[in-house]
Structure 1
Amino acid sequence: MLSRQNKITGYVLVLPALFYMLFFVGYPIIDNIRLSLLDVNVMNVSHGEQPFVGLGNYKELFEEGVLVTSIVNTLIYTVACIVLQFIIGLAFALLFSKTFRFAQRLRGLVMISWLLPATITAMMYKFMFSGDGVVNDSITHLHLGSHIDWLVTPVPAMITLIIANTWIGIPFNMILLTTGLTTIPKDIYESASIDGANALQKFWRLTLPLLKPAIYSLLVLGFIYTFKVFELVLIATHGGPVNATQMMSTYAYKLSFELFKFSQGAAAANVMFVILFIVGILYLWMVRREEVSSS
Structure 2
Amino acid sequence: MAHATLTRTTEASGPEPARRSRGRRHRGEDLTKLLFVLPAVLAMVALFGYPVVKNLLMSLQDYGLRTFFTGDAPWVGLRNYTTVVTDNLFSQAMVNTALFTVGSIAFQFVIGLGLALFFHRRFPLGGVLRSLLLLPWLLPLIVSSATWRSILEQDSGILNRTLTGIGVIDDPVPWLNSPSVALIAVIGVNIWIGIPFNVTLLYSGLAEIPAELYEAGQLDGATGWRAFWYITWPNLRAVASVLLMLGVVYTIKVLDIILGLTGGGPANATQTLATQSYERSFIDFKFGEGAALSNILIAISFVFAIFYLRSTRRAVDE
Structure 2 CA distance, aligned partners of 1:48 and 1:121?
Answer: 39
Contact preservation (8 Å) 1:96, 1:107: yes
Residue number in structure 2 paired with 1:111: 134
Partner SS for 1:155: coil
Aligned CA-pair RMSD: 1.4
Structure 1 CA distance, aligned partners of 2:220 and 2:94?
Answer: 49
1:43 equivalent in alignment to 2:66:
yes
Residue number in structure 1 paired with 2:226: 201
1:189 equivalent in alignment to 2:188:
no
Contact preservation (8 Å) 1:86, 1:170: yes
Deviates more, 1:175-184 or 1:241-250: 241-250
1:81 equivalent in alignment to 2:84:
no
1:140 equivalent in alignment to 2:164:
yes
Identical amino acids, percent of aligned pairs = 38
Q: How far is 1:6 from its partner?
A: 1.6
5+ residue gaps, structure 2, are: 1-22
Residue number in structure 2 paired with 1:160: 185
Residue number in structure 2 paired with 1:95: 118
Deviates more, 1:195-204 or 1:138-147: 138-147
1:292 equivalent in alignment to 2:308:
no
Deviations 1:211-237 (A, max 9, x none): 011001000111111111111111110
Deviations 1:97-128 (A, max 9, x none): 11111111111121111111111110011111
Residue number in structure 2 paired with 1:131: 154
1:64 equivalent in alignment to 2:84:
no
Give runs of ≥4 in structure 1 deviating > 4 Å: none
The aligned amino acid for 1:220 is M
Larger-Rg structure: 2
Q: How far is 1:50 from its partner?
A: 2.3
Q: How far is 1:52 from its partner?
A: 1.5
Structure 2 CA distance, aligned partners of 1:74 and 1:80?
Answer: 10
Residue number in structure 1 paired with 2:255: 230
Residue number in structure 2 paired with 1:269: 294
What is the total number of aligned residue pairs between the two structures? 293
1:120 equivalent in alignment to 2:128:
no
The aligned amino acid for 2:112 is G
Q: How far is 1:94 from its partner?
A: 0.7
219, 243, 255: which one pairs with 2:244?
Answer: 219
Residue number in structure 2 paired with 1:283: 308
1:210 equivalent in alignment to 2:235:
yes
Contact preservation (8 Å) 1:67, 1:268: no
Deviations 1:188-224 (A, max 9, x none): 1001101112211000111011101100100011111
5+ residue gaps, structure 1, are: none
TM-score scaled by structure 1? Answer: 0.96
Structure 2 CA distance, aligned partners of 1:75 and 1:257?
Answer: 24
Contact preservation (8 Å) 1:255, 1:261: yes
The aligned amino acid for 2:161 is D
Deviations 1:6-25 (A, max 9, x none): 21111111111111111111
Contact preservation (8 Å) 1:248, 1:269: yes
TM-score scaled by structure 2? Answer: 0.89
Q: How far is 1:48 from its partner?
A: 5.7
Deviations 1:140-166 (A, max 9, x none): 112212321111112311111111111
Structure 2 CA distance, aligned partners of 1:122 and 1:128?
Answer: 10
The aligned amino acid for 2:69 is S
Structure 2 CA distance, aligned partners of 1:155 and 1:102?
Answer: 41
Residue number in structure 2 paired with 1:260: 285
Residue number in structure 2 paired with 1:10: 33
The aligned amino acid for 1:238 is G
Structure 2 CA distance, aligned partners of 1:250 and 1:124?
Answer: 20
Structure 1 CA distance, aligned partners of 2:192 and 2:306?
Answer: 28
Partner SS for 2:174: coil
Deviations 1:43-73 (A, max 9, x none): 3333164222111111111111222322221
1:150 equivalent in alignment to 2:172:
no
